[in-house]
Structures are given as C-alpha cells and as structure tokens.
Structure 1
Amino acid sequence: MNIYFSINKIKPMLAAMLLLAVCNVPVAQAEIGDRLKVTPSKASLYAGPSTTASRLVSLRGGDQMVEMERQGSWVFVAVKSTGAQGWIRSSQVHKATAKRVVRKASRRSSARSSAKTVAVAVNEPDIMSTSRQVSLLDKGFKNGVMFEGTAGTHEHSFFFDSPLDSRIVNGRFRLLYRASPDIHKQANVRVSVNGKPYKQVGLSGDGGLHELDIMLPASAFRGEHAKVTVRSTLLVTEDRCFDDRINGAFLHILPESSLTIAYQSVERSIRDAWRMLPQKVSISISEGNLSQGQFASTLGLMALLVESGKEVSIKRLPEIGDIVVAPKTELERLIDLKRLTVGKGGTVASMGRALDHVSNLALIRLQNRSAIVVTDPYDVQPMYLLSNEWKLLSAGQQYRVYRPDDLRIKLGLLGTEGDAGYYSLPLTKLGFEPGVKYITREASWQMVIAPFTLPVGTRPDFLSLNIIAPVRWENDPTYEMYVFLNDVMIKSARLENNGLMQNFTVNLPSEYQKQYNDIRVVVQHDVEQGDCRGVMPHDYIQITPDSALVVKKNEDAAPAKFSDLTNYFSQGFDTYLETSYLQNPERALHLLARLSADFPLLIDHTRLTFAGPGDVLSPGNPFVAVGNFALADDMEAPVRFDKGRVKILSPNGETYFDVSELSKITVAEIVKAPAAYGLWVNPSSASDIAVMDRLDLTEDDVAFIDSMGVIKTLNSREPSLAQVYYPDVEDWFDVLGKYRFWLMVLLWFLLTMVVVYLYRMSRANKVAREEDDALYQAEEERMQGGAAAYMHEDHTVHPGDSLDHLDEKR
C-alpha cells in the first residue's frame, strides 16, 4: 500500500521534471533558412558532420547563424557575423525567437514530451565517410584560369563528377587566387554551385596569394555533376575610360584550387566506384604472364582513364590497386593464402566464398575503400557506358569515348548527305552551346570538333554560321565578327545593323586543321561616344542552333602525315603486338594508352594480334604495330630497324643522331604495305615512358619520342632536309649517298679541269690558226711578187708551182 502510494506520488514529479527538461533542452527545431543561436557558452564549428573533422572556428553563446542543411544530429550553418560556414551539433543551437512561453502540461502531454526528450537526447554516431578531392590541375587546367581586363564581368565554370548512388555528406570548394596589386576595393569574386551563389568577397590589392574556403551542404550536389562557377568584376579606378585604356587588372585562379566531396559509398555501386576514382589510379595485374584477354582488358581500361586525364600506374598482385584485372583462379588462390595486400603493410581479410558466382565486373570491399575487379571472361565494354559525356565541358580538352562496336552506328546517324558527298552536321550535335550572350564589349563562343564525331571518311570543309546581332543607332558602330581555327584567324566580317539573321560561310583550310579542331567565334563592339562613367550598352547576341558544320568525303585515302591517320583509321584497324609484352606489359600499355588518348586512336580490343620475335609483319588491313618487327620486303618504311644501325643525316652529311645508340628513343612512322597503310611504333627500352605527359603527333610521317613527348619529326618525302642512313647495310646507292658531298666536290673539280683544258686547247688552236694565216699571207705575197717579176721577163706561167713547202714548214 505504501509502495503503491509512493509510486503514484513520484509519477507527477517525474512528468514535471521531464517537462522542465523539454523546455530547457536547447534543441534546434528550425528549418532551412531560419536563424539559430548558440546555446552553450562555447561551441565549435567543424568542417564535416563529425567530431573527427577539423575545427574551423570557435563560437560563443548567443552567436547567430542561418541553417542551410541538416543531417541527423548535425546542422550545416553560416555564421552571420563572419560568414564562416560549417557543421555544429543540433543540441548546441536553438531557434532564435523573440519570446519563449512555457505552458502547463497535462500528464499525457508530459509523457509525450518525455518520449520526445529521450529521442532527442540520443545522439547519432558520427558519420564515417570517404572523401575525394579533385583540383583544377586534375581537370586539365595546368596553368589555372586567368581573368584579364576591366571590361565586363569575367566568368568560368568547372564541372566535377558527383556520386550518383552514394549518400553525399558534404563538400568544400577551396579557391586559391592572386589579384593584381593595384586592384580597386570594389573588385570582387563570387562562387556559385549549380547556379546558387554561396560566397562573395572583395579582392585584396596586396598582390599576395589568398584562399577562399566554401563549405557546401549535400543539397549543393544534384545530378551527375557539380557546376562550380567563379565570377569576378575587376576594377582599377572608378574611371571606366582609364581602366579600359590601361587594361591592367587580372585575377589568377591557381590550378591547386579544388573541390572535395565527402560521401558514404555504396558497396555495390560500380558506377560510383568508377566515377569517384582518384586522380592517380593504380591497376593491379597478374604476377606472371598475361593472357591476351587480360592484356586487352587492361589496355581498354587504361585508354579510358588516360583519356579522362588520370595518371595510371601498374602494380602486380598480390598488391591491390584501385582496379584489379586478373583471372578468378588467381584471386581465389591469393585469398586462400591471405597474400593480398593493400598499400604498405596492409592486408586483406579472407573474402570468403569462391568467385565462380561473381560476374566479370565486380567490387571488393577493402579496409577503407573499394576496388573494381575485372575478371574472366574479360569484357570492358560496360566501362564505356560508365564513362561520362561531359568531358568537353569539364576542361575543354577531353572528349567523348564511344564503344568500338557502336562507333559506326553513331557516326551514321549524325549527318544528312547532300550533293557530291557533303554532310551537314548541326553544331548542337557536336557539343556546341548556341546560347544567348549578354554583350557590352565582347562575346565569344568556342567548340572543339573531335574526329570521332564526324561521319566515317569525312573531314571538315566549312561552317555555315547564322548569327543575329543587335540593332544599333546611327552613330554607334556595328559589331565585328572574328572566327579562329586552332588559333588562326580565318574570317573577319562586319555585322549588318538591321537586327536580322545573317549567314556567313567560313571555309576551314585543310592546312590549319588537326585531329582536334578548336573553333572560336568572337564578336566585338567598340563604343565611340558617350560618358565613360555612364551606363554601358547591354545587348543580346546569338549564334542560332541551325548553324552547321559541313564536311565532305575525303577523296585522298593515302595518309601523308600523322594527322591523316585518324581519318584513315576511322573504319577500323588491326593492332599487332610482340608476344614479349604479355610478360612485360608496362611499357606497351602506357604507350598504347597515350596513343589512344592523344593521337587519337580508337583501338578495337577484339582485333589484337600477338606476333613472335621471328614473325614477319605483313598486314592486309590498316594497322597499328607496336614492337621491333621484321617487315616484309614489299613494305615501305621511312626508317627500318631490320637493317641494323640507323642514323639520321643532315643535308651536308653530318649526323643528327644515331637512333640505335639512343635506347630511350621511341620511333613512330607511317608505313606502306601492299594492301594498306599503317602506324609502326618501335618502343624504347626506357622505363620512364610511363611519365610521358602528352603525345602530339600531327605533322610529318616520322617522329622521335622520349619521356617528355615528341622531340623531333621528319618528312621522308623531303630528303633534302634530313636523310636516313644504315651504316651496316651499304650498297652503291648508300655509298653514293654517304659520300655524295665529296663526290660532288670531285666531280666539280674534274669538270673544272676539263673546262680549263678545253679552253687552253681552244686558245692554242686559235693562236696556231692566226700564225698559219699570217704565214700563208706573207708567203702568198712573196710568191705573187716573184711571179710578177718572172712574168715581166718570161710571160710563161708555170702551173706546177704551189705552197706545199709551207705545209712542210708547218
């Protein structure tokens, strides 16, 4: 009885205490955009929703902030006084209200409140996430981005891959920049993500390096990509006329600027594992010799990764990289022996069941990351589907990759054929954005035409450009248009002042074309009158979507230079490799990956052929050969390595360099077989071929390459510039070619001597004839005088008299 009474008395007291706790617990019940206050006397702002994340700033009780995002027991806020952004526990803030009213509660409401209090008091564990950092340097901006001049507003957008299946925790954009020392105090820089502005700061005029950190909530990442836009207004003075004349303001965005995304990865999402690979990717292959299928799959993956700007390294099992290409039997054996290792000293626990049930494409979960596994039967075609299609927007130098078995289908659907083999391709299908531009002084459009986006067997011929320019008043000058092809100006025209659509035909000269053709259209407007401090004219201008690129069939199928091979190989080609590369695949894989990305070559991994060291290369289709092959006698190559040593001679017979003595030189050349042309690459023995940054093969038909890229090219059709010489195999023509300089000197000397001799003989004969003529004339005069005297005495003429004695005298 007493116990029952005590319990009944305790219940109301407990309910009151719980109600009091509910009223006093500082719980953030606000929504996004509401104002919050810090409850305790001290609190910290973290870089992520975890106490293990780095601390950003310290807060005091009463500091006000705005809620931007909420994840469990953490709130993403922006501090009103300083603008700092970060994460704070929801238990340390409450909604800032003018007045708090505490009402009496019944026993039932007290019970509900106590339940609610218990639920809030249980803090969720810190979120464990994986982070990925991508810099502008990784996106291809080796020198960053430079904003120059005070005219208008400068803007540049960067596209970063985002996870699609994983849960995004948060992100951070770190902007490193340096402004000109004399920048005006009103100059500023603003950062927006997916069109939403997050922070704007004034630029400091001290000329030093500055850092701007912007914390981003999960809501900032929507879709496949995060579009980060940096916009800046540069001023030097308040006098716009003066600013335009000196044009001295600049803002340099450093390539170390980066975006970091923290996310909770999904173990079964191969798509996210592929999209979120780090910049430096490692591929693990078998310990021993590779099979042909394993080599082809590894090559396919490396070509995709290198094309997307990744730095790829090759490891050997049992060390596990980001991607593993190996047969199931080998993986099972290493799992049983517990030999798989991760990094330095780390090991992988047993993966349990056999891999027979696993498809050829899977994920394995490691200690702190996942690894993509490609196993037998090898097939890398799904990777082409996982590869994104925004690379052109990302850095302006990356291009779409099509699956080899689907290439011709896609190309056949692009163009509409007209007369004489011409195709008209709308620019919108080639990645061109014909959006409306807001112009004061200048507006520009840019696009890059990749070779794989053109119909097979065609090349660009001209642009059909439709543009609408604003209407100007009488004294205001019209607009000028300039068109550039690979930084060569090929068209300039003045736009009409009627506001109607205007069409321009812009020829694309073949001598300025490359494999990738960069086309840029610039429209400028010069304001001649008006107050410089007044309002600048703002007009709209647009290149309309019906503008098109016209291509024509390439009639000359014989490739004369390296850039011609891209079109020549568009209908497919065979790839020949030495069998030794199955044992030591590193150099060949790195070289082929660079060729595939930079040349470019769309290697069909199902058409790989491995030839032994004694096999003679005699292809019947267009081909790419990598290795020190012996060529058939009916094949024509500018440089042949089956003739012993190779030297390159200058026009006067001096040696440029001895190719055979340079073991770190890779030679690439165009070779002619009886049935087709091909590209023959003889790799060097250097191990540093993997660090090759870019392979730029455009002009000429012979190239000498080292780890730094192409060092020299030759045109074998111009032997007067340079000539190939084989010292070990000499015939009469080689001897004549080797000593042609001295032979020419000797021939010139002999010809000179002959000319001198003939001249002297001619001179001697002339003198002799003159002497004879004088002698004959004197004798004739003498005889005529004697005959006259004789006739005076004896008028009989003696016909037997002659001048024969003169011949005897001669």
Structure 2
Amino acid sequence: MTSLRKILLLVLASSCLAIPVSAQEQTGMAVSRADASFGTVRREISIDELGFRRGLEFTGFGGSQTLYFPIPETGLLSATLKLRLRSGSAFRSRRSVQIRIADSIATTRALSQQDEEMAIELAVDLTTVEGRFLEVTIAYSGAVTEDRCLDERVSGDFVAVLPDSGLSLELAPAAIADVRSVLALMPQDVTILAPGEALTETESAAILRIASMLLARNASVSYATYERGGLEEVSPGRDWAEGRIIVATGVDAPANPEDGTSTVSVFDTADGPALLVDGSDPAPGAAFLASRWEALASASRLSVETVTESRPEGTDLSFADLGMNLATQSLVDRAVFDVGFKATNLPAGMQPARLDLDLAIGDDFEETNATIAAFMNGSLLATTVTPGAVPATLSATIPTGLFHQANSIRVVVQRQPLTGDCANPPQSFPVLLLPSSSLSLREGNARPRDFFELTSAFGNGVTIFLARETDDRTVLWPGLARIVADLVPPAAAVDVRFGLPAENETQPFILVSPTLPEAISAPVRLDAGRILVTGPGDTTLLDADGLTRQGLAEIVHTSETTGLWIHPGSDGLAAGPGTAGLDRGNVAFLEQGAVTFAFSTERDRLVEVIYPERTSYLALARQYRPWLIGAGWLILTVVFVLGLSRYYRRRSG
C-alpha cells in the first residue's frame, strides 16, 4: 500500500495537479476575477448535514456526543457555534449542559425544570483550531437530589439539540481557492448543471459518477441545465447555501493537449463557489472527485487523464479497512456500538461469512463479568460472558439470508453494577470495540439471484447502456444515480454507451431502455402484453399493461454475463420522497424512484406472474390448478369405483 501511494502521489504531482490558472483559462469564456471583488463567503453547517437528521437527544441525567465540523486549513476569518436546545424534566432536579470546543470547555449552562428552549452562541477561538475539522463535544449531566443514590430509569428528563444547530463560518478567498476545500465545505444541497442539449456518452458518465458520489455522502442532489457557451464566472454571493458542480465539454471546455483529458477547477457563481468538471472527456475528472485521492487536490485547477484506485482484497476485511468509527465508550451497566457497512465496501465477488469481534474491557474492581451480544441487521448472532482486564473475542457465523445491500452491526456490552448503598455510586469503566475486528469473506454466487448480489458482479466495472428514448433526464437521472450509488462500488469503472448491449455481451451491464433484446433472458417480459402478478388465493397484487407509468427493474442474463434491466416508465425513476434502493428479489416495480413491490421468481412460491394475453397451457394449468386437481381426483375416484364394480360382477358371475 505504501509503494502504491508513493507512485500515485508522484503521478498526481507530475501530471495531475497543475498550477492555478485564471478563470479565463479555465473556461475559455469566463470574465476575469479580481481578488478585490471576490469578498468573503458565509457558510452555515448544520448538524443535520453531519448525519444527525433528527438532531441529538440525551436522557437519564447523562450523555455526550462529539461532532466534527469541516473547516478550511487556511482562510478562516471567524467561526461561531450556534446551538438550539430544548429541555425539560418531570421532577425537580439539577441539570446542566457543557460545551467543549477543540478539547477546551467553552461554557456550561444550567437547565430549569420547566420545558424550555435555549439558544447558545459561542465565538470560536481560532488560535485553538488545527487541521480540517473542528471538534465540538456536547455533554449533559444532572441529578434529582444532592444524594448520590439515583435510579435514572424514573428521571423523566431530556435535552434535545435541534437539527438546525450548527457552525457558522466566515471564509476568506483563500479558504475556497482549491478543489479539495470547495468539495469538503460544499453544502448538503447540491445541483449538478449540464448542457441543455443532448448529452454525450462521456458527459452522461461524468454526471452519473458525480451524482452517485454525492448520494453516497447523503447529499441532496438536483439537476439543472445551461445553454452551451453560456458559462460566465461572477463574484460569489455572501451566503453559500447551495453547492454546484458543472459538467461541460465541447465549446465550454478549455483546449486540452490530448484527447481524453479532464480538468477539475474552482468556478465562482452567484450562489457561491462551484466545481467545474470539463475537458474533452470529463469522466476521469468525475471519477477523481469520487475517489479517495480528491484529498490531494490542493490546487484551484487540476488535470486528470486516468484514475486508478486500489480495491480491498483477500478473505478477511478488518473494521479499520471498512472505515468504521470505533470510539471508546464508558461502561456502567450498558454500552452499545453501532457500526455498519454496505455490499459496495466488499471486494468483488465476495460476501461475508463470519463476524469476528475483538473488544478491550476495563477491569471492574468488583470482579463482575461482562456479557457481550452481537447483532446483525437486528438479528442476534451470538453472546458470550467475559471478565474484565482481558481481551474479549466473539465469533459468529453470518447466515446467508441475513446479508443485505446495507448492513448494520450492533455490539452490546452489559455489566450488572454492584453498588451496595448510596455511598457507592456506579463506577464506569472504558470499553472499546477494537479495529482488528473483522469480517471473514467467502465467494458470492456466480449467478446473482438478488439485486444486492449485483454489487459483486459490478465490482470490476460496469457498462451502462442508455437508449435514446430515455434521454429525459428529469425522469432518468435521479433514480438511476441512486441505483448506481447503491449497487456499483466506488472504485469500479463506470462506462456509458448509447444503444443496446450485444447478444453475446461479456461485461456486466445496466440497461435503461423501454425494450429488452429477445436474446437476453428475463424473469418478467414486457413484450408478452398485459402483466398480472398474483399472490396467495389468486389475489391480484399488480395489474399492469405495458408499464406506461411505473418502472420495472429486474436481473437479466446473457449467455456470458449478468445485467440489470431498468424500464423507466413515465416516472419510474423520477426521485420522490422515501426513495428506496434495490435490495432483495430479482424483480422490482418502481414509482417515483421508490420500490413499491419486489419479489424473487426463484424463491417465492406465493407470487406468480401471468400474461393473460399470451396464455399458454402451462399458465392455464397454474391458473386453474385447484379445479384441475379436483377434476383429477374425481376422475380417479370414478375409475376406481368402476374398476371395483367390474371386479365384483366378474366374481358374482
């Protein structure tokens, strides 16, 4: 890994990271930017953007949470922490909340018994700020009385940090002068701008790669267009509330020395700093932004020819390799570790087979054993009992049916405190889920049977075929970008082509088209007319005719490879509220980007697909199976009775 990193650093230093150039050189038509008119930019970073969509909540007279706000390394003029709190208590108590900034106590505030809302505004001392993140810790504590004896189960107290709380930054031009800083500080709401006319294959690949990268980072992505030749750089506004990434080729691209070169540069708009991805082939620039090497983009403009990113290999993958956050916790009676991973984090062709946990638990002077329980996706895998002061291990086999596209692991450590009387309050001890914990892997199914298994097939790259009939990007891009983010690993190459795959296609593919070539086998076909999906008792679950509005996604196969066919419908891929990804099953019906109904034609026995307009003898037999079974028994009974009567007549005669 060290040698690979050195090579990549040398390559990027010699050929990728160019010196800063003027705006005129970046776009070929932008107005020149004067530093005097550039001004400052205000950026509001809420804790909602950090992943705490519902804010923070503490109860039981205790709790803390550390937040990490992104900040620039240079050019930070001021930073103000703005918190909105809501608190209350059912009983009289003494409660307080403490705020620590950069590992120093900034303030402590008392909380009253009555329900109240409180606003806390603290100026950050910039002399204590280091690195690219600002550490803010919110700690809550309290007690009912002055006595130390307390049962927190009946406290009836709470403190909530509302999701619009956050950090307000005042940024100088130097703070947003390079690609890395603009991408790190970009707001959660991002608009991707592309030329208004028909897109090229390389532009489409760049848009999909950028959109899937943003969605994987939990950003909210929208799409807009501009007229070719209409890009013009302006002085940014004061408030930076929306991020923008512009994809351009042709007349909007600068003259590149060689075909296939992509450039990524900082571009100033009226809504704040933006990133411009252009060149004769913008796809490599988009792939660079989606890779981990974007942290090296410390210039205002860089040129990219190709991006190669190493993928995890082997049959064991540690939690450190998966990038899991494993902070130390304090164990009084219960400590919980919640971590997760996606199928896209695993090596190509591999699936998890066993979970191996390593924990370090502080010694309890009362010599009380600790109980460790491991859960995956809500199901209990294994438990064990261990004393403190020794490394604890726990291994469990992962059932095949428990693995999904997105997976959660919960490790619960419990210890019964022996406190005696009120003179001996419960004592906390440190516990840590070690990064050496790992997933043991096995080879996945060579022939994917569920959508999430396509991730293994797409691990070494995927070709996305787009039919010209699906060029309505308002319908296509939102849902398709979500599917790419869910099923295509970040390190996998993404290629876009217009048209249909060949009958003997050998590379895994995603096909977006209203029609499917006859040579490609699919569990559900649309060229057979009306589709009737029935459940138990012949209950009609879906009655569709050509899927003019709904979308359809299903796993398809050629003689050489596996693919995903997406029939977009009129709004099947348009993003809507509650957008859901593809997970279990090999057939899914879509509506506004969400899976409305998914099933497996290989496992499910309660769901049947019938084509009423193309009824075969087998379909008729399935439809009238109860009547046919009854008729068969009746015929057998009649034959049996007639045979007996003939037998007795012969004996009597």
- TM band (smaller chain): 0.7 to 0.9
Please state whether the residue corresponding to 2:449 is helix, strand or coil.
coil
Separation in 2 of the partners of 1:219 and 1:728? 75
Aligned to 1:745: 627
Taking a change above 3 Å as real, the CA distance of residues 557 and 235 of structure 1, as seen in their structure-2 partners, is farther
Greater RCO between the two (CA within 8 Å, min separation 6)? Answer: 2
Is residue 647 of structure 1 aligned with residue 532 of structure 2? yes
The answer to whether the 8 A contact 2:573-2:593 is kept is: no
Equivalent pair of 2:550/2:572 in contact (CA under 8 Å): no
Could you tell me how far apart the structure 1 residues matched to 2:454 and 2:189 are?
30
Match of 1:465 among 354, 357, 362: 357
Q: Report the CA distance shift for 1:205/1:597 in structure 2 as closer, same or farther (over 3 A).
A: farther
Q: Which residue of 2 aligns with 1:137?
A: 48
Match of 1:95 in 2: none
- Return the match for 1:478 from 369, 392, 401: 369
How many angstroms does 1:138 deviate by? 2.9
**Structure 2 residue 486 is matched with structure 1 residue 598:** yes
Determine the structure 1 residue equivalent to 2:457. Answer: 568
Q: 1:471 to 1:661 in 2, by over 3 A?
A: same
The correspondence of residues 236-247 of structure 1 with structure 2, limited to 5 A, is: 236-238=144-146, 241-246=149-154
Greater fraction of residues in helix: 1
1:163 aligns with 2:45: no
**Which of these residues, 491, 508, 514, is aligned with residue 628 of structure 1?**
514
- Post-superposition Cα deviations, 1:259-314, rounded to whole Å, max 9, x if no partner, equal 22221234742333322322222222112111111111122221222222222222
Which one has the bigger strand percentage? 2
How far apart, in 1, do the equivalents of 2:358 and 2:447 lie? Answer: 35
| Cα distance change on mapping 1:355 and 1:511 into 2, 3 Å | same
SS at match of 2:612: coil
Structure 1 unmatched runs, 5+: 1-124, 332-353, 392-402, 416-422, 773-810
- The TM-score normalised by the length of structure 1 is 0.66
Q: Residue 698 in 1 paired to residue 583 in 2?
A: yes
Q: Give the match for residue 303 of structure 1.
A: 212
Q: What letter corresponds to residue 266 of structure 2 in structure 1? A: L
User: 5 Å matches for 1:86-97?
Assistant: none
- Aligned counterparts of 2:118 and 2:428: Cα–Cα separation in 1: 32
> Given that residues 533 and 608 in structure 2 are in contact (C-alpha distance below 8 angstroms), is that contact kept between their aligned partners in structure 1?
yes
- Deviation, 1:435, is 5.4
Residue 625 of structure 1 deviates from its aligned partner by: 1.5
Structure 1 residues 216, 762: closer, same or farther in 2, change over 3 A?
same
CA distance in 2, matches of 1:302, 1:557: 29
Identity, % of aligned positions: 22
Structure 1 residues 462 and 606, CA, compared in 2 at 3 Å: closer, same or farther?
closer
Cα deviation, 1:328-360, whole Å, max 9, x if unaligned, reads: 5258xxxxxxxxxxxxxxxxxxxxxx8779973
Q: Aligned partners of 2:144 and 2:505: how far apart in 1?
A: 65
- What's the secondary structure of 1:755's corresponding residue? helix
- CA separation in 2, counterparts of 1:702 and 1:734? 19
Does residue 537 of structure 1 match 2:422?
A: no
Distance 2:48 2:67 in 1: 11
Decide whether the 8 Å contact of 1:183 with 1:203 is kept in 2.
Answer: no
Partner of 1:608: 496
Contact 1:598 1:694 in 2 (8 A): no
Q: Distance in 2 between matches of 1:245 and 1:366?
A: 53
* Alignment of structure 1 residues 184-199 onto 2, 5 Å: 184-199=92-107
Counterpart position of 2:316: 424
Partners of 2:604 and 2:371 lie apart in 1 by 45
1:378 paired with 2:287, answer no
1:517 aligns to 2:397 (yes or no): no
The equivalent residue for 1:327 is 249
Structure 1: which amino acid aligns with 2:560?
Answer: A
Q: Quick one: structure 1 residues 205 and 579, their matched pair in 2 at CA, closer, same or farther if it must change by over 3 Å?
A: same
Out of 354, 358, 364, the residue aligned to residue 267 of structure 2 is: 364
- Kept in 2: contact 1:669–1:702 (CA 8 A): yes
Q: How has the CA–CA distance of structure 1 residues 471 and 329 changed in structure 2, closer, same or farther, with 3 Å as cutoff?
A: closer
Shift of 1:701: 1.4
1:466–1:544 CA contact under 8 A, matched in 2? yes
Q: Distance in 2 between matches of 1:426 and 1:726?
A: 48
Q: Greater Rg, structure 1 or structure 2?
A: 1
Instruction: Please tell me whether the aligned partners of residues 207 and 286 of structure 2 are also in contact (alpha carbons under 8 angstroms).
Output: no
Task: Determine the C-alpha separation between the residues in 2 that align with 1:366 and 1:571.
Answer: 37
**TM alignment of 1:621-770, pairs within 5 A:** 621-633=507-519, 635-660=520-545, 663-686=548-571, 689-707=574-592, 709-718=594-603, 720-738=605-623, 740-741=624-625, 744-745=626-627, 748-749=630-631, 751-752=633-634, 755=637, 759=641, 762=644, 766=648
Shift of 1:461: 2.6
Q: How many residues align?
A: 591
Question: Which of 485, 488, 494 matches 2:379?
Answer: 488
Q: Could you say if the C-alpha distance between residues 224 and 580 of structure 1 is closer, same or farther in structure 2, counting changes exceeding 3 Å?
A: farther
**Residues 719/478 of structure 1: CA separation in 2 closer, same or farther (3 Å cut):** closer
1:478 Cα deviation from its structure 2 partner: 1.8
- Equivalent residues in 2 for 1:330-409, closer than 5 Å: 360-367=263-270, 369-382=272-285, 385-386=288-289, 405-407=307-309, 409=310
Q: Quick one: which of 379, 403, 411 aligns to 2:312?
A: 411
Give me the whole-angstrom Cα distance separating, in 1, the residues matched to 2:210 and 2:599. 32
* 2:89/2:155 contact within 8 Å kept: no
Post-superposition CA distance 1:703-762 (Å, at most 9, x none): 122226222211102453111122333332233334x24xx3255246436625753784
Would you say the 8 A contact 2:529–2:546 is kept in 1? no
Q: Is the 8 Å Cα contact of residues 210 and 289 (structure 2) preserved in structure 1? A: no
For residues 629 and 126 of structure 1, the distance between their equivalents in structure 2, rounded to whole angstroms, comes to: 54
SS at match of 2:113: coil
Corresponding residue number in structure 2 for 1:201: 109
Query: Residue 272 of structure 1 aligns with which residue?
Result: 181
Give the equivalent residue in structure 2 for 1:179: 87
CA distance in 2, matches of 1:679, 1:269: 38
Q: Residue 549 of structure 1 aligns with which residue?
A: 438
Instruction: Tell me: CA distance 1:280–1:664, structure 2 relative to 1, closer, same or farther (3 Å).
Output: farther
Change (3 A) 1:428 1:283: closer
| Contact 2:458–2:488 (8 Å) recurs in 1 | no
Are residue 619 (structure 1) and residue 505 (structure 2) matched?
A: yes
CA distance 1:768–1:559, change in 2 (3 Å): closer
CA distance change for structure 1 residues 679 and 274 in 2, over 3 Å: closer, same or farther?
same
Residue of structure 2 aligned with 1:284, choices 193, 203, 211: 193
> Is the Cα–Cα contact under 8 Å of residues 174 and 212 in structure 1 kept in the other structure?
yes
Structure 1 residue matching 2:151: 3-state secondary structure: helix
CA distance in 1, matches of 2:583, 2:133: 33
Unpaired segments ≥5 residues, structure 2: 1-35, 232-242, 295-304
1:611 CA displacement: 0.5
Q: In the aligned structure 1, how far is the partner of 2:106 from the partner of 2:292?
A: 27
Shift in CA distance, 729/164, structure 1 to aligned 2, threshold 3 Å: farther
Q: Counterparts of 1:688 and 1:362 in 2: how far apart (Å)?
A: 31
Q: Structure 1 140/541 Cα, relative in aligned 2: closer, same or farther at 3 Å? A: closer
**C-alpha distance in structure 2 between counterparts of 1:690 and 1:292, whole Å:** 22
Q: CA deviation at 1:573?
A: 2.6
Partners of 2:275 and 2:430 in 1: CA distance: 49
1:587 aligns with 2:475: yes
Say if 1:641 and 1:507 are closer, same or farther in 2 by CA, change over 3 A. same
Partner-residue secondary structure (3-state), 1:160: strand
Between 355-364 and 479-488, the greater mean CA deviation after superposition = 355-364
Deviation (angstroms), 1:675: 1.1
Distance 2:487 2:642 in 1: 65
Q: 1:655 to 1:535 in 2, by over 3 A?
A: closer
Contact 1:183 1:235 in 2 (8 A): no
Deviation at 1:594, TM superposition (A): 0.6
Q: 1:524 deviation in Å? A: 1.8
Residues 600, 141 of structure 1: alpha-carbon distance in 2 compared, 3 angstrom cutoff: farther
